[in-house]
Amino acid sequence: MKKILAVILVALASASAAYSMELKDYNVLYRMNENSTFKALVRYLNAGDEQADQLKYIFDLTERKLNYANKKESTIDAERALYFNLGNVKYILSEDQYRKYLIILNVSRFSKDEDYIADNN
Protein backbone atom coordinates (compact mmCIF):
# COMPACT_ATOMS: atom_id res chain seq x y z
CA MET A 1 0.00 0.00 0.00
CA LYS A 2 2.84 2.39 0.85
CA LYS A 3 4.53 1.63 -2.47
CA ILE A 4 1.36 2.45 -4.39
CA LEU A 5 0.98 5.72 -2.53
CA ALA A 6 4.62 6.59 -3.21
CA VAL A 7 4.20 5.86 -6.93
CA ILE A 8 1.08 8.03 -7.08
CA LEU A 9 2.84 10.91 -5.34
CA VAL A 10 5.81 10.70 -7.71
CA ALA A 11 3.46 10.63 -10.71
CA LEU A 12 1.57 13.68 -9.47
CA ALA A 13 4.77 15.58 -8.77
CA SER A 14 6.09 14.77 -12.24
CA ALA A 15 2.86 15.80 -13.92
CA SER A 16 2.64 19.11 -12.08
CA ALA A 17 6.28 19.90 -12.85
CA ALA A 18 5.69 19.21 -16.54
CA TYR A 19 2.89 21.76 -16.72
CA SER A 20 4.38 24.49 -14.54
CA MET A 21 5.59 27.70 -16.11
CA GLU A 22 8.65 29.69 -15.18
CA LEU A 23 8.39 33.34 -14.27
CA LYS A 24 9.82 34.48 -17.60
CA ASP A 25 7.11 32.51 -19.42
CA TYR A 26 4.51 35.06 -18.33
CA ASN A 27 6.28 37.84 -20.26
CA VAL A 28 3.91 37.22 -23.15
CA LEU A 29 1.41 39.33 -21.21
CA TYR A 30 3.84 42.25 -21.25
CA ARG A 31 4.11 41.93 -25.02
CA MET A 32 0.33 42.09 -25.36
CA ASN A 33 0.40 45.53 -23.72
CA GLU A 34 3.01 46.99 -26.09
CA ASN A 35 1.42 49.66 -28.28
CA SER A 36 2.00 48.08 -31.69
CA THR A 37 1.12 44.58 -30.47
CA PHE A 38 -2.00 45.85 -28.74
CA LYS A 39 -3.22 47.64 -31.88
CA ALA A 40 -2.63 44.53 -33.97
CA LEU A 41 -4.45 42.40 -31.40
CA VAL A 42 -7.46 44.75 -31.41
CA ARG A 43 -7.58 44.59 -35.23
CA TYR A 44 -7.26 40.79 -35.22
CA LEU A 45 -10.03 40.45 -32.66
CA ASN A 46 -12.15 43.01 -34.53
CA ALA A 47 -12.79 44.65 -31.17
CA GLY A 48 -14.83 47.82 -30.90
CA ASP A 49 -13.59 51.04 -29.33
CA GLU A 50 -15.19 50.27 -25.97
CA GLN A 51 -13.74 46.75 -25.94
CA ALA A 52 -10.31 48.15 -26.86
CA ASP A 53 -10.45 50.62 -23.96
CA GLN A 54 -11.45 47.87 -21.55
CA LEU A 55 -8.73 45.55 -22.87
CA LYS A 56 -6.12 48.27 -22.44
CA TYR A 57 -7.25 48.79 -18.84
CA ILE A 58 -7.06 45.04 -18.15
CA PHE A 59 -3.61 44.77 -19.73
CA ASP A 60 -2.39 47.72 -17.63
CA LEU A 61 -3.65 46.05 -14.45
CA THR A 62 -2.17 42.73 -15.55
CA GLU A 63 1.19 44.41 -16.10
CA ARG A 64 1.07 45.85 -12.58
CA LYS A 65 0.31 42.41 -11.17
CA LEU A 66 3.20 40.92 -13.17
CA ASN A 67 5.56 43.63 -11.94
CA TYR A 68 4.59 42.72 -8.39
CA ALA A 69 5.13 39.01 -9.13
CA ASN A 70 8.55 39.71 -10.66
CA LYS A 71 9.61 41.78 -7.66
CA LYS A 72 8.67 38.91 -5.37
CA GLU A 73 9.99 36.36 -7.88
CA SER A 74 6.71 34.52 -7.39
CA THR A 75 5.38 32.23 -10.09
CA ILE A 76 2.20 31.88 -8.03
CA ASP A 77 1.52 35.62 -8.28
CA ALA A 78 2.39 35.55 -11.98
CA GLU A 79 -0.10 32.73 -12.49
CA ARG A 80 -2.72 34.77 -10.63
CA ALA A 81 -2.01 37.67 -13.00
CA LEU A 82 -2.53 35.34 -15.96
CA TYR A 83 -5.84 34.08 -14.57
CA PHE A 84 -6.87 37.67 -13.80
CA ASN A 85 -6.17 38.57 -17.40
CA LEU A 86 -7.96 35.55 -18.86
CA GLY A 87 -11.02 35.95 -16.67
CA ASN A 88 -11.49 39.62 -17.38
CA VAL A 89 -10.75 39.34 -21.08
CA LYS A 90 -13.27 36.52 -21.33
CA TYR A 91 -15.89 38.77 -19.74
CA ILE A 92 -15.28 41.59 -22.25
CA LEU A 93 -14.92 39.64 -25.49
CA SER A 94 -17.42 37.54 -27.36
CA GLU A 95 -16.90 33.79 -27.42
CA ASP A 96 -15.28 33.89 -30.87
CA GLN A 97 -13.05 36.82 -29.94
CA TYR A 98 -11.96 35.04 -26.77
CA ARG A 99 -11.04 31.92 -28.73
CA LYS A 100 -8.91 34.07 -31.03
CA TYR A 101 -7.29 35.67 -27.98
CA LEU A 102 -6.40 32.25 -26.55
CA ILE A 103 -4.93 31.25 -29.91
CA ILE A 104 -2.73 34.35 -29.89
CA LEU A 105 -1.55 33.62 -26.35
CA ASN A 106 -0.83 30.00 -27.20
CA VAL A 107 1.07 30.82 -30.36
CA SER A 108 2.99 33.63 -28.67
CA ARG A 109 4.03 31.65 -25.63
CA PHE A 110 3.89 28.00 -26.52
CA SER A 111 5.02 27.92 -30.13
CA LYS A 112 8.01 25.71 -29.20
CA ASP A 113 6.25 23.65 -26.55
CA GLU A 114 3.51 21.09 -26.64
CA ASP A 115 1.57 22.58 -23.71
CA TYR A 116 -1.34 24.90 -24.33
CA ILE A 117 -3.51 27.09 -22.19
CA ALA A 118 -6.87 25.44 -22.51
CA ASP A 119 -10.22 26.93 -21.77
CA ASN A 120 -12.54 24.18 -20.66
CA ASN A 121 -15.56 26.42 -20.20
What does the pLDDT read at residue 114?
Answer: 43
Residues 6+ apart with CB under 8 A from 41: 32, 55, 101, 104
For residue 121, is it within any domain? Answer: no
Domain assignment of residue 3, yes or no: no
**Domain-located, residue 10:** no
Write down the pLDDT at residue 17.
Answer: 41
Q: Is residue 2 part of a domain?
A: no
Q: 85, 54, 81, 87: which is closest to 68 by C-alpha?
A: 81
pLDDT of residue 69: 87
What's the confidence (pLDDT) of residue 14? Answer: 45
Q: Which domain holds residue 30?
A: 21-110
pLDDT at 90: 94
Q: Please count the structural domains in the chain.
A: 1
The dihedral of CA 83, 89, 92, 96: what is its sign? negative
> pTM of the full predicted structure?
0.70
User: Across the 121 residues of the chain, what is the mean pLDDT of every consecutive 10-residue run?
Assistant: 54 46 74 87 93 94 90 87 93 94 82 49 44
Domain membership of residue 9 (yes or no) is no
